[in-house]
Structure 1
């Protein structure tokens, strides 16, 4: 029978290795020193790129040693981050991390998963004190109670959640691989290093001002803001963060009527214009979007309106995605872009409009594949979150194998 009970961390820890802070303050990097796990190394410390302290330092801090399957909890600054030490890893922990070495009746992988659950995170956050820099004391940490089943139940639950983690990690790695493939394609296709079959026309080297015009946005008085419907969406820089606006700007937080537009003198940017931030730190975020319909934009943004007879918007958008607008910003109090700088952006494009479209379509196909993978990743994360809500609270019980104790 698999039973559930409330267990204090103090009772879950081994008596020969009680819960405790790390006490190592890493000194200068030492190539062949002792690994020191800090908050930045969670959730899974790796021997690669980890800070190391001198062996002489490690000898003084034996109490902060960690070894395989120790569960780690950040207790200062960013409290509540959880990690687990890989088997075969030996080192120390910094003073911002606490170590939990579990008794034999507890499964480390389960506690690693359980302490990341929303319920456990709320418990950890509520126990932390401090306004500017939070801290979770060892005394408090020891008294915290968490719900867990018997060892058999812990093993079964952690196995299921670990499978979900493996799927999530596999999708993340596949996205990284696809992004690398796309980057290589862009470097080849957007420079004519590789030509698509059936195209051999020459390419032109010109400036952005030769194929379109740049227009700044309009002021947006507060009295006209807040409407959720109207003739024109009125986009702000923050609207680039809206879900669904990752490429085409289609969802605005503000809309205006044509009468309002005329009264405020706002300029309408046409469908297909490429928009981006032109003032402030947002310039360095390098976000370029395409308007899905005729729209207004605020005066912290600008639009690149193309001559559709000589340039394909998706091709040019791919080119601009590779061009850092932040490199045009002059050193000053407020980052900004001006029309002269924007018009002088160098471009190399096929003279044949059909080749531009074909290149854009090839890159779009990869973008679509990446988008599908991201959707799968989001779904996998949501599924795991739901599994944690059910399995780590006992609401849903996994079947017990026949003959299990």
Structure 2
């Protein structure tokens, strides 16, 4: 391979000649960073019984995700206990790296409202000692780079029990451009991160608005223009609803057909698609993971064949990341056959607008699941109990109008989600260029 002028070949690939390759240990020995530390091991490691509702944040690997340190959903320990621990005292500005179980998640500790945060043995902090040689933002982005992550995973063994201790972390390679170039690289990536964060926050805002709108419209607390004139509200067994709405039960109006447990020996490379639990996500079917059955199975199992606009529901593990796994089949999803513990909702009368039914069911079944799903490791929906559930139902024209409002909201959110993924992809491309020195930035 020809090496361009001004570049050199290293263990991290071809990089600019004026960049330095060193180990984490060399950064420590040269007083560029402090000695990396994680939390306390052994008997003095805080236990579950030590957790309190407020105190010093106690950071585990799952507290770090998507470049964010989640201080709202972490555990806390008393300051008196934390003060008596020996190590793992992390401060604002530290770069955090998860190194046990989940290996390779990275963040920077931002503003904190306690003297420090306490790390578990799952997380290491990296602290700048000489700010004239290195910046914490550059450390963070280099740790997130594809090359470093690949090396990190190789060092940690991979799998669910992956682990890389402090001693092994010190052997990891690090690339050190001139400080001004570090800052320029970090600033460029930070600008993209700021845009990603802004889009993500907007998506969260739009989702919250949609949830509030669903709550108002699907219960009749708010009526759309042209509906409800001259009607008041009535008290019912499920609460107050508009006078012109009815109460319906799942038992009398809906039925759920569940699929069969086809064996892997029956799978083919081509044929009719098999709709499994992992294919069902909120609002749509995802075919990233796909299995096929012989084509003639569609004729053998006609009652299990999915048609366009069918509403599908995951009966096992029905909620993922706070979202109910319920979808509407599109033309591109068919033909497909139901696998076991995936349900197809059958309407026993014609009073439902399909799109409205999707939003109605996604709201009320989610509530039902949260209240009464059976099981803990893999909770599942008991269709027998579900049939006892009762819900309010507006006239058909109002259903259609409500469905259109919510569909438009979903389309806006989907557009923002695509924009978010586009910028995340852009960031990955920028990191690949900037952190290898393939593209150089002008700096003073």
Corresponding residue for residue 205 of structure 1: 247
Instruction: Flag the 1:81–1:300 CA change in 2: closer, same or farther, 3 A.
Output: closer
* Distance in 2 separating the partners of 1:386 and 1:58: 43
Equivalent position to 1:379, from 422, 436, 442: 422
Q: Which runs of 5+ in 1 are unaligned?
A: none
Which residue, 264, 272, 282 being the options, matches 2:317? Answer: 282
Change over 3 Å in CA distance of 1:216–1:144 after alignment to 2: closer
The corresponding residue for 2:390 is 346
Q: Is 1:39 the counterpart of 2:61 in the alignment?
A: yes
How far apart in 2 are the matches of 1:184 and 1:335?
26
Q: Does 1:100 align with 2:143?
A: no
Distance 1:219 1:266, change over 3 A: farther
Does residue 177 in structure 1 map to residue 205 in structure 2? yes
Q: 1:397 to 1:225 in 2, by over 3 A?
A: same
Distance, in Å, in 2 between the alignment partners of 1:6 and 1:32 is: 43
Name which of structure 1's ranges 96-105 and 331-340 shifts more when overlaid on structure 2.
331-340
CA contact (8 A) 2:317 2:378 kept: no
Residue 18 (str. 1) matches residue 71 (str. 2): no
Is the counterpart of residue 358 in structure 1 residue 401 in structure 2?
yes
Tell me by how many angstroms 1:37 deviates.
4.2
CA contact (8 A) 1:44 1:86 kept: no
Structure 1 Cα separation of the partners of residues 205 and 385 of structure 2: 34
Instruction: Tell whether the 8 Å contact from 1:19 to 1:100 is kept in structure 2 after alignment.
Output: yes
Q: Pairwise mapping of residues 123-272 of structure 1 onto structure 2 (< 5 A)?
A: 123-128=151-156, 133-200=161-228, 202-218=244-260, 220=262, 222=264, 224-230=266-272, 233-240=273-280, 246-249=282-285, 251=287, 253-254=291-292, 256-257=294-295, 259-263=296-300, 267-272=304-309
> Aligned to 2:103, what secondary structure does the other structure show?
coil
Structure 2 distance, partners of 1:248, 1:363, is 15
More displaced, 67-76 or 156-165? 67-76
Report how far residue 174 of structure 1 moved.
1.1
Q: Report what 1:75 is aligned to.
A: 99
Give the alignment partner of residue 298 of structure 1, picking from 339, 350, 355.
339
Aligned pair in 2 of structure 1 residues 56, 287: CA closer, same or farther (>3 Å)? Answer: closer
**2:83 is matched with which residue: 13, 37, 58?**
58
Greater CA drift, 64-73 or 220-229: 220-229
> Larger strand proportion, structure 1 or 2?
2
Deviations 1:284-335 (A, max 9, x none): 5531122225643234322222367311011111011012353555569996
CA separation in 1, counterparts of 2:32 and 2:439?
32
Bigger mean CA offset, 321-330 vs 201-210: 321-330
Residues 1:223 and 1:348: Cα distance change in structure 2 (over 3 Å): same
42-51 vs 359-368, which moves further: 42-51
Indicate conservation of the 8 Å contact 2:93/2:136, yes or no.
yes
TM-score of the aligned structures, taking structure 2 as reference length: 0.76
Q: 1:361 to 1:25 in 2, by over 3 A?
A: same
Q: Distance in 2 between matches of 1:54 and 1:249?
A: 48
Partner-residue secondary structure (3-state), 1:80: strand
Determine if contact 2:258/2:343 at 8 Å carries over to the other structure.
Answer: yes
Rounded Cα–Cα distance in structure 2 between residues aligned with 1:362 and 1:338? 31
Asked whether the equivalents of residues 239 and 253 of structure 1 are also in contact (C-alpha less than 8 Å), the reply is no
- How far residue 50 of structure 1 moved from its aligned partner, in angstroms, is 5.8
* Equivalent residue, structure 2, for 1:5: 20
Instruction: Determine the C-alpha separation between the residues in 2 that align with 1:64 and 1:234.
Output: 49
Look up the SS of the partner of 1:79 in the other structure.
Answer: strand
Report deviation, 1:145.
Answer: 1.5
- TM-score, normalization: structure 1? 0.83
| Alignment length (residue pairs) | 390
